[in-house]
Amino acid sequence: MSKKSFLITIAAISSLGGLLFGFDTGVINGAQFYLSKHFELDAVMKGWVVGSALLGCLIGALIAAPLSIKLGRRNSLILSALLFSLSAWGSGLPSFLPESISLLVAFRIIGGLGIGIASMNTPMYIAEISPAEHRGQFVSYYQLAVVIGFFAVFLVTYFIGNSLTEVENISFGWKHMFWSELAPSLLFLILLFFVPKSPRWLCLKGKTNEALRILEKLHPKERAKLELNEISASLESSESGSSGLNLTKIGITIIVIGSIFSALQQFTGINAVLYYGADIFEKALGFGKEDILQQQILLAFVNLIFTFLAMFTVDKIGRKPLVYIGSAGMITGFLLLGVTIQTNAIGVLSLIGVLLFIASFAMSMGPVVWIVLSEMFPNKIRSVAMSVAVAVQWAANYLVTQTFPIVTDSELNNNQPWNGALPYYIFIVFIIVIIGFTYKYIPETKGKSLEELDDMWDSRLKKQ
Q: Where are the alpha helices (DSSP H) in 208-288?
A: 208-218, 221-240, 250-266, 270-275, 277-279
Q: What is the pTM of this model?
A: 0.78
Question: Phi and psi (nearest 5°) for 347?
Answer: 175, -140
Q: What is the reported pLDDT for 290?
A: 57
Q: What SS3 class is residue 306?
A: helix
Tens-digit pLDDT profile for residues 241-274 = 444 444 557 778 889 999 999 999 999 999 788 7
Q: What is the reported pLDDT for 131?
A: 82
**Domain CATH for 44:** 1.20.1250.20
Q: Cα separation of 58 and 382, whole Å? A: 18
The sign one gets for the Cα dihedral 168, 174, 179, 184 is positive
CB 254 within 8 A of CB 38: no
**322: containing domain:** 3-463
The domain tally of the chain equals: 1
- 3-state secondary structure string across 370-430: HHHHHHHCCHHHHHHHHHHHHHHHHHHHHHHHHHHHHHHCCHHHHCCCCCCCHHHHHHHHH
CB 228 within 8 A of CB 17: no
Q: What is the reported pLDDT for 130?
A: 84
Amino acid at 358: I
Tens-digit pLDDT profile for residues 160-209 = 988 888 899 999 999 999 999 999 999 999 999 999 999 989 998 889 99
DSSP annotation string for 163-199: HS-HHHIIIIIHHHHHHTTHHHHHHHHHHGGGSPPPH
Cα distances from 229 to residues 170, 232, 244, 446, in angstroms, run 59, 5, 19, 22
CB 451 within 8 A of CB 236: no
Q: Is the pLDDT of residue 281 over 70?
A: no
Q: What is the reported pLDDT for 291?
A: 63
Tens-digit pLDDT profile for residues 344-403 = 888 788 888 989 999 999 999 999 999 999 888 877 788 888 899 999 998 898 888 788
Q: With CA atoms as reference, report the closest residue to 284 among 342, 357, 327, 209.
A: 342
Amino acid at 389: A
Question: Phi and psi (nearest 5°) for 73?
Answer: -65, -45
CB 304 within 8 A of CB 147: yes
